Chains A and B, each alone.
Chain A
Amino acid sequence: MSSAALGIRQVKYTNKAFWRNPASAFFTFAFPIMFLIIFTTLFGNHQVQVLPHVSVRQSTFYVAAMSAFAVITACYTNIAIQTAFSRDAGILKRIRGTPLPAGSYLAGRVLHAMIVAVILVVLNVTYGVIFYSASVPTRTLPAFLITLLVGAASFAALGLAITTIIPNADASPAIVNASILPILFLSDIFIPVNNAPAWVDVVGKIFPVRHFADAMQAAFFSPTGSGFRWTDLAVIALWGLFGVVIAVRFFSWEPRR
């Protein structure tokens, strides 16, 4: 079998195991929807400016924002925590002792996370369409899909990269959440960032989350044009590439005890 076929085969097993862990599967799916409902209930009726000259109801804003959040949860948070657990459990070390190419194994995981992310976004948008009269981004669909894929792949790469500084599985949820939660708050995901202090914008410009949120909003709400935000996509992809480089250089297949 080719490396690609082995990778796709790996998706099948990863997927089986994923759905058989009900707690993990439930929370992966419940969180974005739950946040969507909570945020919308609390702030749903305000108007938010999402693009120059474009304002939407905050509930609609959250459909886009929670889609971005769902992708980050599925790809960055989940991959990082699960990989740290597999490493500590000796699963990665055992895989390393077989002829399965390392790339096929990791690609299988990343691909699975991306599939989960896409399902999450579809659920999120469907929920938004039904309950918050959000509209499906049909005209800007190419931008929406490309943004989704670039974001998912890049955050997955960063998820693998951060495992290189996680000492053990017990520490992984804390480290992963500490690395992402503050940025989520400052990056137009949980709270619309308007008229914030300058340093918040600096944080947004440096890290990929704000770029991803902006690109998602553009893909959702652009009244004209294709909805592509190439600069944001480039920054996200650059972070993804950085993740790949770190992962390739420092990824560990053995528990760090």
Chain B
Amino acid sequence: MDAAIDVRGLRKSYADVEAVRDVNLSVAVGEVFALLGPNGAGKTTIVEILEGYRSRTAGEVSVLGEDPDRAGRSLKARIGIVLQSTGVDPYLTVAETVDMYRGYYPSPRPLDEVIDLVGLEQKRDTRVLKLSGGQQRRLDVAIALAGDPELLFLDEPTTGFDPSARRNAWEIVKNLATLGKTVFLTTHYMDEAQYLADRVAVIAAGKIVAEGPPARLGGRDTATAVVRFRLSGADVSLPSSIASEVAAEDGGFRYQSEDPTRFLNELTGWALQSGVRLEGLNVSRPTLEDVYLRLTAEAEHPEMAEAVS
């Protein structure tokens, strides 16, 4: 597995703040990687170091085999960047803008293909000034794709979007993944990381606190599962074998275990046999959000970690 991005022991200090503290991460070619964290956690600092905008205080950084701090135009020709806030000339049209950027690259992607990829066909000849916020963000992505990059950086691509615009943006990123592009994305939205990323790293207070596929992050897959249900009808009562394993909660029952399979078999078997409906039957493990909130709270307030966990 080739690494598109490899970061070892990265540190970045501003005057009196350590924004990034000993970060290690690796992104494989063709992978969609999300850096997830609250505002001010160091996401943008890291991504801007990778893009070559900032120099680092310490550590090793390799992007497509080059050091972004020293590489010149050759590396810039192979990456595409969507910055958090960025502008284009408001008086040029969509097609003119994309075409202008295409001209900067040695082997650009065909103009119409780029515009189609982000779904701006209808706005081809519209001036940037007349685009909605979501459309301008799509243009940002189009510009980043103009040079047909191997690696794409997206810094909080959907912040401030309405739900349907976010869905559209997500589809675009999914499309990029199918083109074989490596995508490095930062976000503070859990659902975004979960939907888009092959792998997620959670960053808090400048440190990576967990890393893995969204489904397994922070031990989500093996964490305690909780089964909740209510019984229909007041005259029904649980058999003692089941009753001894559950606790009463909000007029219903709660069962907790790392592997609820046997219990569920017993419970549903009994319910079917005795014709009892199990209302609101639900098995849940911690959501990505639960894990994220726990991890970031631990990192930002170590003294409170015990209370939260």
Contact = CB atoms under 8 A, between A and B. Distances in A.
B94 to A, nearest CB: 13
Nearest to B51: A97
Contacts of A101: 73
Given A13-B96, A98-B105, A93 B86 contact: yes
Contacts of A93: 53, 83, 86
A20 interface: yes
Interface in A43-92: 86, 89-91
Contacts of A248: none
B147 A16 contact: no
A98 B81 CA distance: 8
Nearest to B73: A99
Interface string B13-53: 00000000000000000000000000000000000000111
A99 B102 CA distance: 10
Contacts of A21: 91
Contacts of B53: 93, 96-97, 254
> Chain B interface residue count: which class?
20 to 34
A38 to B, nearest CB: 30
Q: What's the dominant secondary structure at chain B's contact region?
A: loop
Contacts, number: 62
B103 A91 contact: no
Contacts of B77: 99
B254 interface: no
Contact of B100 (A13, A86, A89): A13
Interface of B: 51-53, 73-74, 76-77, 79, 81, 83, 85-89, 91-92, 96, 100-101, 103-106, 127, 143, 147
Interface of A: 1, 6, 9, 13, 16-17, 20-21, 86, 89-91, 93-94, 96-101, 254
19 contacts: A6-B103, A9-B100, A9-B103, A13-B89, A13-B92, A86-B87, A91-B86, A91-B87, A91-B89, A93-B86, A94-B87, A94-B143, A97-B53, A97-B79, A97-B81, A98-B104, A99-B77, A99-B104, A99-B105
